[in-house]
Amino acid sequence: AQTVTQSQPEMSVQEAETVTLSCTYDTSESNYYLFWYKQPPSRQMILVIRQEAYKQQNATENRFSVNFQKAAKSFSLKISDSQLGDTAMYFCAFMKHAPGDDKIIFGKGTRLHILP
Amino acid sequence: DVKVTQSSRYLVKRTGEKVFLECVQDMDHENMFWYRQDPGLGLRLIYFSYDVKMKEKGDIPEGYSVSREKKERFSLILESASTNQTSMYLCASSTPAGAEKTQYFGPGTRLLVL
Phi-psi region of A57 (alpha: psi -120 to 50; beta: other; left: phi over 0): beta
| Least trusted range by pLDDT, from A63-67, B17-21, B88-92, B100-104 | B100-104
Provide the chain A residues 93-112 that lie in CB contact (below 8 A) with chain B. Answer: 95, 97, 99-104, 106-109
Out of B45, B102, B108, the one facing A50 most closely (by C-beta) is: B102
Confidence class for position A25, pLDDT limits 50, 70, 90: very high
Residue B2 has pLDDT above 70, yes or no: no
pLDDT tens per residue, range A30-89:
889 999 999 998 788 999 999 999 888 999 999 999 999 999 999 999 999 999 999 999
CB contact under 8 A, A45 and B105: yes
Strand A74-79 with A19-21, pairing: antiparallel
Number of H helices, E strands in chain A: 0, 12
